[in-house]
Each structure stands twice: as C-alpha cells, then as structure tokens.
Structure 1
C-alpha cells in the first residue's frame, strides 16, 4: 500500500469531501447526488470506505450485499442497485458483495498516473467479502474507452471490444484492465447498464470468487 494511505469506514462528516471526489472522478451523467451517499451510509455503512492520503479524502467506494447466481448474473447497474439508492436492493442474506461505486480523485492519480488508491479500495471490498463469509465480489465495470476507441479507430461491436488485448494480455479498455489486474474476470456484457456516454451505456459484469 502507498505510504501514508489509510483506508477506513466513512463518517457522516466526511460526506462533503466525498462529494468533491465524486464530482472529480466521474463524468456529470454518472455522478451520484449526496442523498444517495447518505442512503448508502445508512443502509450498509460496513461497505462504505474512503481512502485518505495526507489528511485528504482521495477515493471512495460503496457496496451492498445481493443474491447472486454465477450461472445467471444480473443485468444493469441501475436494476441491481435501485439506481444507486440500495435501500431496497441490499440483501444481507445474499452471497455476494456488489461494489456500487469506486472513484478516485485526481489527487489520488498525480500526473494522471495511478498510485494504487483504487486498488487499495477494491482490496478492502474483497477483504470485506471474506470477513462477511460471502462467496463472491461482483461489480458492473464501465468501458470508458469504448466510445473514443470507436470514434478514432472505427465502430466495432462491444463483444469484440471487450476482448481486445494489449501485448501484455490485459484488456485494451482502461477500466476492464484495472479490474482484471486485480483478479476479477468478465462474466457478462450488460447493455443499458447506466447512463454513460463514454461507455455507450454498456457495462461488463465482473466477478471475483472469495
């Protein structure tokens, strides 16, 4: 872990700083309003973590527990999370931790380069999965390089795009690459997963078995 980086559960007085991270980390159509974070804190505080570096919040992740069948994974992020509210979608008896959000501010990515903040937050969600005795950690990954790829190199089907690999064997897409590097695998392409122009509204369900 980065020297001086602390991953801890959130407190109610952290919410204003969390909103700064949310606004810096995501395109406007993908940002969650403060009331959704307040609801996530109320419903499942154990799955709400922040990354603190030099006394400043630089990353945020939230989660819920869901029923999960690996042979028939769920579809859109909107459906799985109740559009990010989680009050009706969180099921303590489920067997999977579902990562609702994970965002890192530019201060957690100096000079545009990742320094491990996102990885540390994801590892904490994986640790939570084990602590709770759940079988899986799952999430809906964006494919934020898809639209720009198609505009510069020609339109290709999403099924082809998610399987494009670099010379090191990792995905061409920056977010799929991040999650595969962390040990998750792609299990399902999900159209209309959320309002996300960069991903052309696609998402990819990803899974890690505890």
Structure 2
C-alpha cells in the first residue's frame, strides 16, 4: 500500500475524516507515545516499540508499517511482516515469529502477512480505527499476492474462566457467541477465522499466556 488512503470514520453519527498511510521516522516519537497510552502499567515499558524496531519496520517492510491519522492527529498503527507459514506446524511464540519485534526475519518470498502489533489510542477506540487498519493489511495481502493475513490474538477474557474450561473450549465458546472476548470478538468482526490456540505465545496473565491463531484467506490467491 503506497501513498495514503482517505476514509471517514464515525464518532456516533458524525463522519470524521481520517487518513491511512505508511509511517515514517518522523512519526517514531508519537508512535512510542501511543504505545504507552494503549499499554499502560503494569504492562512493561520495555515491551513498547523502540526506535530501532520502528526503524527496521520502515526499512525492511514499509508496506506493513501503517498508521492512521484522525483530523491530523496520529491515532493508531499496525505493523506486519511476511513469513512462511506451514498450517501443519502452526505453533510459535510472538518472540519467535516477529524476531522480538525487530522483524529481521522478514521473508519477502514468504506466503503470509503476519500481524506483529496493532495499537490504537484509547480515546479513539470508539471510532473503529482498528478495523480500518486490519482492512488495510487485507489490501496489502491482495496487492502482494499472499495467501493469508495471519496473527495471534490475546484472549484477555480467558483468565476469568480458566478454572472452568480449557483455552480451546474458551475459544469455541467465543466463536459460538456464548462468551465475548474483547480481542477475539473484535478479530471475528474484522473477518478473521480461528485456526486454533497456541500456548506460551506471550507473557500475558489475563490470557494465561494463550493466544488464538487467526487468519484471513486471500480470496484472489493462486499459486
């Protein structure tokens, strides 16, 4: 995705102009500030993006380094890299598949676009910006002729019921609509479908370190 895409998001019934574009070095300070707002303590600050990571994103794969501005204010970002994914061996951790966020393992000849991070400022979350950022990555998948968009979603609601069911049972209950999870339900609304649960994905007490591996298949893909 090159250049920028102008869209309208909605604050209630009020259309609000927004712009989706690739982020650049000039955005780094604000992107780190957004991370601090979106992931406040007790989330460890060392898990926020740093300038070296962001510099790798725009150098190694600028098509996967996107941000969204709302009325000229930087409000969120999404970051991806291309990987070679084998559905027969889906297990991985966030650290392994994203190179701890440095994406030096980006594979231009891989088959899948992997979502390393999506982040929206809390005060802008009611505008549906996350869905627009995910939609933009779908466009990138189609443009590059990749097989899928792939990523693992936290399951922050699982910790509340972990003594009653397994992580797999929890994911099934969310998909059936019996339970609602703030992350997994959002990803379902964005068009993602679950492939299964991966353990020890990320140190995340709310999710008991589990995550749901979810994909969007490119309907135009051909080998």
Indicate which of 12, 20, 36 corresponds to 1:7. 20
Structure 2: distance between partners of 1:68 and 1:6: 31
Residues 22-101 of structure 1: pairs in structure 2 closer than 5 A: 22-27=35-40, 28-29=43-44, 30-87=47-104, 89-101=105-117
Indicate which of 116, 120, 130 corresponds to 1:118. 130
- Measured after TM superposition, the shift of residue 85 of structure 1 is 1.2
Unaligned runs of 5+ in 1: none
How many residues matched? Answer: 201
Structure 2: distance between partners of 1:136 and 1:170: 27
Deviations 1:127-176 (A, max 9, x none): 000010111100011112222x238xx54321221122388x37521111
Unaligned runs of 5+ in 2: 1-7, 10-15, 219-223
Residue 149 (structure 2) pairs with residue 150 (structure 1)? no
The structure showing larger relative contact order (alpha-carbon pairs under 8 Å, at least 6 residues apart) is 1
TM-score of the two chains, using structure 2 as the length reference = 0.83
TM-score of the two chains, using structure 1 as the length reference = 0.88
Query: Which residue does 1:136 correspond to in 2?
Result: 148
